[in-house]
Structure 1
């Protein structure tokens, strides 16, 4: 269930938003001030925020800026009665995914929320490493815009490095993980072949790899 933070000081609007969002199976957290919102951002993660610009103790733009500066930022939509061009431009330039003016049509709001969440999920499914783009939803890998054709084991090996980027993985660790998916024991020589084949596909110069580095006596490390 997607978690939505609603920052709205109008009690009636906040109540109606809560009812609407819960009806569409969203987990809603309501706050009415900038201070409450900023405190909550430090306590729990969210998938989306609906932010009123005019708040009793400040403005929603500051909340949007704080969300963008989080270690794990998430999308937000400004929902406000301020419909002048300058306000709209400010909201979008601050990183808002959308700017919806009040009064709003309930189903239009839900549609826009779904669009933003879908776009966010797509962005999160793509992992970019230098000239590689790994789409974990589709299970594809592109290099310089061209799709690479990896075997299931090569793809699994690449994901292992990606999920542990910057960390040294020993050959034993890699063999155990590959064994899990292969169903057969992967010996040391076979692992060497897998590493070689993967490098030939993702490296610009496999003889002098810049992504998957050999750490002598310890194992391998993906450098990003």
Structure 2
């Protein structure tokens, strides 16, 4: 059964949407604040998040940014303001769809179905016996879960999604650490790659997946 978390402080709207979607066969969980939403996301696995743009203790934009640090779960954002800037900001942060209140429940249902179909197509990545479940933010090696830090997870996803391409330290820094323009020492790249190799390579001292290309950077090699 598809399980959806709705994060919304308008209780009347929440009740209406939850009642409708449960009658359509979805399992619904509720949160009325950013804090409560984060707690539920850490404790459960969801198919999709419906979140309001404005919450009592923060914004949906902030929560979306935090969720995208570790998961690609589909996010449908709701807003009471029909402004282009809100929609642009939401999409740039990784929101998958955007609806302005008031909205049709039938249209909401159709968009949820579309996001769930899309999730099935892009949520799993496989390479060299490593499986990445992007929606749950989990990694498995030969079906055994590998526990990674948030940085190690982002590194692994970046490498696998760019397999057989040389990635410079600068590219890795920009993608994994420096997206907000904060300075990070480039030694942190080699330190975290070493830690990641310890967890996914059979022989970390002679890595077969993440190879060093001297003078250029690193590359994820796909075993034939």
TM class, shorter-chain normalised? 0.5 to 0.7
- How far apart, CA to CA, are the structure 2 residues paired with 1:123 and 1:162? 20
CA distance in 1 between counterparts of 2:7 and 2:89 reads 18
Equivalence map 1:20-169=2 (5 Å): 20-70=20-70, 72-127=71-126, 163=143
Describe the shift of the 1:222–1:23 C-alpha distance in structure 2 as closer, same or farther (beyond 3 A). farther
In the other structure, the counterpart of 2:10 is 10
Q: Structure 1 residues 222 and 8, CA, compared in 2 at 3 Å: closer, same or farther?
A: same
Aligned residues: 145
| Structure 1: tracts of 5 or more residues without a match | 130-160, 167-214
Q: CA deviation at 1:48?
A: 0.4
CA distance in 2, matches of 1:64, 1:108: 22
- Measure, in 2, the Cα distance between the counterparts of 1:66 and 1:104: 26
Native 8 Å contact 1:38 1:66 kept in 2: no
Q: CA deviation at 1:126?
A: 4.9
User: Which of structures 1 and 2 has the larger relative contact order (alpha carbons within 8 angstroms, sep 6+)?
Assistant: 2
Moved beyond 3 Å, runs of 4+: 161-166, 221-224
Change (3 A) 1:126 1:16: same
SS in 2 for 1:42: helix
Contact 1:162 1:222 in 2 (8 A): no
Offset, 1:47: 1.0
Does the CA contact (< 8 Å) of 2:53 and 2:60 recur in 1? yes
Give the whole-Å Cα distance in 1 for the aligned partners of 2:208 and 2:43.
32
Q: 1:164 to 1:32 in 2, by over 3 A?
A: closer
Structure 1 residue 19 displacement after superposition? 0.6
SS in 2 for 1:109: helix
Query: What CA distance in whole angstroms lies between the structure 1 residues aligned with 2:87 and 2:52?
Result: 12
Give the match's secondary structure for 1:100: strand
The alpha carbon displacement at 1:73 in A equals 3.5
**1:99 aligns to what SS in structure 2?**
strand
Per-residue CA deviations over 1:123-173 (Å, capped at 9, x if unaligned) read 1355356xxxxxxxxxxxxxxxxxxxxxxxxxxxxxxx864699xxxxxxx
Q: Distance in 2 between matches of 1:106 and 1:41?
A: 24
* 1: CA distance, partners of 2:97 / 2:12: 22
- Kindly provide the CA deviation profile for residues 155-210 of structure 1, in whole angstroms up to 9, marking residues without a partner as x: xxxxxx864699xxxxxxxxxxxxxxxxxxxxxxxxxxxxxxxxxxxxxxxxxxxx
For the residues of structure 1 that align with 2:39 and 2:92, how far apart are their CA atoms? Answer: 24
